[in-house]
Amino acid sequence: MPRSGGRRSALLAASVLALLAACASASGAGPAAAPTAAKPVTLRLGFFPNITHATALVGVKDGIFAAKLGPNVKLETKTFNAGPAAVEALFGDAVDATYVGPNPAVNAFIRSKGKAIRIVSGATSGGAFLVVKPAITDAAQLRGTKVASPQLGGTQDVALRAWLKSNGLRADSDGGGDVHVVPQPNPQTLETFKSGAISAAWVPEPWASRLIAEGGGKVLVDERDLWPDGQYVTTQLVVATKFLARHPDVVERLLEGQVAANDAVNADPAGARKAANDMIEKLTQKRLSDAVITSAWAHLTFTNDPIASSLTKSAADAKAVGLIDRSDLTGIYDLSILNQILKAAAKPPINGA
């Protein structure tokens, strides 16, 4: 998150303090008893109407999560445009778990001094691009232009700022500098790109494919090219620490759904694309074209591995560009339940160190 003050920061800080108080209370009393058949539980789950969240889209649309959670867990879903909004909802006790990108999870962990959240699984790798106007061929040509990202402090926002800095270009959190970074919702970015109000955007799928297909853009940077073996975390599952402490069995069932949903996505890509697109249409009232969703899907890898090394690098990048003041992530992962599920399914364990 940016260091600048303001009413929004004050509200978020208050929410963080409230969440820390709740976490401390739960810690002091010890974990509550696991829910029984006589004690139904509501699980409030967040995700985005983006192809990078296909695991959640398919898991909800095809009833995979509901089936794994069972009749005594009521699943309520909430959707967000970008990670910082999802984190605010978690801080405000509006969701218990949410799919987010790496940097919002880092922000939540750092701001709460390691108490608010735990990453319990990966979901997706890949699928983010810097799309530019056709005349732009290198970083230097972005000087003096406006470039969009989904939200200040979000995953693509940090990736953009870090890449600009590595190319000798400065971009501050207030929109100033050599390149004017303009955080805006992805649907707005498509319109501003088409109108010429912005020259480029670092966005996740399916928006990158839409900027190309509908806005006449081209790829200047495929983020996979910036990472070892092309692998980096795009989407991961985060759970509020207090919910994990009170309802570990519900989290276990959710993770069974996560693993089953990714199995379904990887076993039947065509069916999963349709299910994800059906869900996107339901949530946004607009369906992706077959060409766009097919293009976007090809850029993604659906994996339960949160690719911890890439999260560490993302945190270092966020610190380097001034969006967080420290980057120690010790304790951010709790993959113990996930690894139990993987072991039972004869799948290799995942290292979150």
> Which domain covers residue 268, as residue numbers?
7-125+232-344
78 and 202 in one domain?
no
110 and 135 in one domain?
no
Q: How many CB atoms lie within 10 A of CB 284?
A: 13
Planar angle of CA 154, 207, 293, nearest 5 degrees: 130
User: Does any domain span residue 256?
Assistant: yes
Phi, psi dihedral angles at 217 (to 5 degrees): -85, 175
275 and 200 in one domain?
no
What value does the CA radius of gyration of the chain take, rounded to a whole number of Å?
20
273 and 245 in one domain?
yes
State the total domains in the chain. 2
> Residue 286 is encoded by which pair of tokens?
């607009």
Which residue reads 């670092």 in tokens?
202
Residue type, 127: G
Please check whether residue 217 is in contact with residue 134, taking contact to mean a CB–CB distance below 8 angstroms. yes
Predicted local distance difference test score (pLDDT) of residue 45: 98
Which residue reads 């970074």 in tokens?
181
Angle between helices 248-267 and 336-344 (to 10 degrees): 50
181 and 148 in one domain?
yes
337 and 246 in one domain?
yes
> Residue 89 is encoded by which pair of tokens?
């909802």
Please check whether residue 89 is in contact with residue 78, taking contact to mean a CB–CB distance below 8 angstroms. yes
Residues 6+ apart with CB under 8 A from 5: none
Closest to 81 measured CA to CA, from 174, 195, 190, 176: 190
192 and 266 in one domain?
no
User: Does any domain span residue 276?
Assistant: yes
Closest to 247 measured CA to CA, from 26, 65, 71, 87: 26
Distance between CA atoms of residues 23 and 116, nearest Å: 7
Burial of 225 (0-12, 13-18, 19+ CB in 10 A): exposed
User: Does any domain span residue 350?
Assistant: no
119 and 14 in one domain?
yes
Distance between CA atoms of residues 257 and 56, nearest Å: 9
Q: What is the pLDDT along the chain (353 residues), one digit of tens a residue?
A: 334 444 334 434 444 444 444 444 333 333 344 444 447 999 999 999 989 999 999 999 999 999 999 999 999 999 998 888 899 999 999 999 999 999 889 989 999 999 999 999 999 999 999 999 999 999 999 999 999 999 888 889 999 999 999 999 999 988 999 999 999 999 999 999 999 999 999 999 999 999 999 999 999 999 999 999 999 999 999 999 999 999 999 999 999 999 999 999 999 999 999 999 999 999 999 999 999 999 999 999 999 999 999 999 989 998 999 888 888 899 999 999 999 999 999 999 998 75
Q: Domain ends where: 230, 252, 267?
A: 230
Predicted local distance difference test score (pLDDT) of residue 19: 44
338 and 255 in one domain?
yes
Phi, psi dihedral angles at 327 (to 5 degrees): -135, 25
Which residue reads 């987010």 in tokens?
100
Task: State the pTM of this model.
Answer: 0.83
Please check whether residue 182 is in contact with residue 161, taking contact to mean a CB–CB distance below 8 angstroms. no
339 and 262 in one domain?
yes
Please check whether residue 323 is in contact with residue 161, taking contact to mean a CB–CB distance below 8 angstroms. yes
206 and 76 in one domain?
no
106 and 120 in one domain?
yes
Sign of the C-alpha dihedral computed for residues 251, 308, 348 and 60 taken in this order: positive
User: Does any domain span residue 2?
Assistant: no
Q: Domain ends where: 230, 257, 277?
A: 230
User: Does any domain span residue 349?
Assistant: no
Predicted local distance difference test score (pLDDT) of residue 11: 39
Residues 6+ apart with CB under 8 A from 331: 114, 118
CATH number of the domain residue 180 falls in: 3.40.190.10
> Residue 188 is encoded by which pair of tokens?
């707005």
